[in-house]
């Protein structure tokens, strides 16, 4: 569900493996676009590899010295080609007609799934509108309908909006990513929406769990929670960035 790149030492290897899986098993895997699979964001947060923007934690900057496309290949050609592929990633996926998968969230400009189907995706998403919102919006328990997002893109949306959208489109679930959740997954709005976060110990310092969500043919949901790979303990680059699980860290974009 997107965000395959940025803020890691192996974004290029990760997205390359996913592309290979898609080429080898085209009818078995669907890759959705996240807000980091865009030129402006991946150019800023490490995938391009030229002075990535620092993380801001409790008001203090923590620069990430991540060497990616430019550092690994000496030029920007690989990054440019990856961005060209990103333009053709799906914006959403429908599982058995009952579960809608998107990266971010809902949009006030989208009432039906058919409106997502007709979006022109062969471009970098604009700074506003339906395409932007699907990649940037977030659910919020304190909001009933819509509110401006502190991210500067997309919206906050609440239980009323979610209930109306799922009812109108005969959905049982909206599955999305986009937000760090400590337990790896989090249900909201009477389990009509779930956030699934699949990057354990995000940025090598957050100490969070990660999760995978499986939906079977009968609509049964099975969540698998996991932590960082054992190889992280022997990887020099990762060990340099690790931080204890006791650290209290706010979420950052």
Task: Yes or no: say if 98 and 172 are a contact pair by the CB < 8 Å rule.
Answer: yes
List Cβ neighbours of 103 (8 Å cut-off, separation of 6 or more).
1, 2, 3, 32, 33, 34, 35, 134, 135, 176, 177, 178
Q: Is 136 helix (H, G, I), strand (E, B) or coil?
A: helix
Q: How far is CA 239 from the centre of its chain?
A: 24
Q: Is 36 a catalytic residue?
A: yes
Q: Is 14 helix (H, G, I), strand (E, B) or coil?
A: helix
Buried b (16+ CB within 10 A) or exposed e, 120-138: eeeeebeeeebbbbbbbbb
How far is the C-alpha of 180 from the C-alpha of 186, rounded, in Å? Answer: 10
Tokens standing for residue 172: 């049982």
Instruction: Name the catalytic one among 36, 62, 167, 178.
Output: 36
Long-range pairs of 209-214 with CB within 8 A, sequence gap ≥ 24:
209/182, 209/183, 209/184, 210/184, 211/183, 211/184, 211/185, 213/175, 213/185
Catalytically annotated residues: 36
């Amino acid at each position: 569900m997107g965000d395959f790149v940025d803020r890691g030492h192996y974004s290029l290897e990760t997205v390359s493996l996913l592309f290979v899986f898609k080429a080898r098993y085209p009818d078995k895997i669907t890759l959705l676009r996240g807000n980091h699979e865009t030129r402006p964001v991946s150019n800023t947060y490490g995938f391009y590899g030229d002075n990535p923007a620092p993380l801001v934690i409790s008001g203090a900057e923590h620069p990430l010295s991540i060497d990616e496309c430019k550092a690994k290949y000496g030029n920007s050609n690989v990054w440019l080609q990856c961005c060209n592929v990103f333009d053709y990633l799906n914006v959403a996926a429908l599982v058995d007609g009952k579960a809608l998968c998107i990266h971010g969230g809902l949009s006030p400009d989208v009432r039906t799934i058919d409106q997502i189907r007709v979006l022109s995706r062969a471009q970098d998403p604009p700074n506003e509108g339906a395409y932007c919102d699907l990649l940037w919006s977030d659910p919020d328990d304190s909001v009933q309908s819509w509110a401006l997002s502190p991210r500067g893109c997309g919206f906050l949306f609440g239980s009323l909006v979610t209930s109306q959208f799922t009812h109108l489109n005969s959905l049982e679930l909206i599955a999305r990513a986009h937000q760090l959740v400590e337990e790896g997954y989090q249900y909201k709005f009477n389990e009509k929406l779930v956030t699934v976060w699949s990057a354990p110990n995000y940025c090598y310092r957050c100490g969070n769990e990660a999760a995978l969500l499986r939906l079977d043919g009968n609509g049964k949901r099975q969540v698998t929670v996991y932590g960082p790979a054992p190889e992280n303990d022997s990887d020099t680059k990762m060990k340099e960035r690790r931080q204890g699980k006791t650290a209290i860290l706010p979420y950052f974009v």
